[in-house]
């Protein structure tokens, strides 16, 4: 009888040990599967989110908006009425250099417009609205507070003949063609480029230049994008 009990106990003990072994094997297998799945998920996430994707830094200081330290004003982003820096010296020196270098090559570039205050822009805009209606005026003139000229970083150029000043046909003049090819080398971009009215909100203005500094201007020009697109604002 004792012998039978001993045999039975041995059988039960072996069965328990085998069960524990099976459970441990299953647990290890499950952990390996979870680790493998987690590894695959990590690889997948890295693939769908490129490591070189740049996140732009937007900041508003005293009512003035900067993206990657670039001052931004457009149809949606305004400047405070009190903001009146005048012409930014660095930008004015750059536009003077552009004009001098262009004219040294036989062109006849002249500066037509630089800094404009909020009050001056208000007067201009209201005059355009009275003449052409608000809808039309909004395609070529900025509402008060939304003009790049208020930043002191924007300039309108023309030529001494003046027949194509502030007209799309300026792009076909020797001056317009030279500006299109060389403005970025002096730190400027054509702010409202051709075929981008749906992005900028303004008609093509081959005469309107915005100062960004040489490095950024060259990058924006090479990208073929508007400033809004380049900074992921549109």
Two tokens, residue 210: 């915005």
First to last CA, the chain: 89
| Residue 161, CA distances (Å) to 102, 109, 110, 158, 174 in order | 15, 9, 10, 8, 12
Active-site residue 181, yes or no?
no
How far is Cα 115 from Cα 84, in angstroms, rounded to an integer?
9
**Residues ≥6 apart with Cβ < 8 Å to 184:** 214, 217, 218, 220, 221
Which of 205, 215, 228, 229 does the annotation list as catalytic?
A: 205
* Three-class DSSP category at 141: coil
Interatomic CA distance for residues 154 and 148, integer angstroms: 6
- Our CA angle for 88, 77, 194, nearest 5°, is 80
Residues annotated as catalytic are: 205
């Amino acid at each position: 009888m004792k012998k039978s009990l001993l045999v039975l106990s041995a059988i039960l003990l072996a069965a328990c040990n085998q069960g524990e072994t099976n459970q441990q094997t299953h647990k290890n297998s499950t952990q390996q599967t979870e680790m493998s799945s987690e590894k695959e998920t990590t690889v997948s996430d890295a693939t769908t989110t490129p490591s070189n994707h740049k996140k732009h830094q937007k900041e508003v200081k005293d009512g003035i908006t900067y993206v990657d330290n670039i001052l931004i004003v457009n149809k949606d982003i305004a400047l405070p009425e009190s903001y009146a820096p005048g012409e930014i010296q660095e930008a004015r020196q750059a536009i003077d250099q552009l004009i001098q270098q262009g004219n040294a090559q036989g062109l006849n570039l002249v500066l037509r417009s630089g800094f404009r205050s909020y009050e001056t822009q208000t007067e201009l805009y209201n005059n355009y609205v009275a003449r052409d209606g608000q809808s039309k005026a909004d395609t070529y003139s900025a509402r008060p507070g939304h003009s790049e000229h208020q930043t002191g970083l924007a300039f309108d150029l023309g030529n001494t003949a003046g027949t194509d000043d502030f007209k799309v046909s300026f792009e076909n003049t020797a001056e317009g063609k030279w500006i299109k090819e060389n403005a970025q080398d002096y730190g400027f971009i054509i702010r409202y480029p051709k075929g981008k009215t749906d992005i900028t909100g303004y008609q093509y203005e081959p005469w309107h230049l915005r100062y960004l500094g040489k490095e950024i201007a060259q990058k924006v020009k090479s990208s073929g994008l508007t400033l809004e697109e380049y900074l992921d604002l549109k």
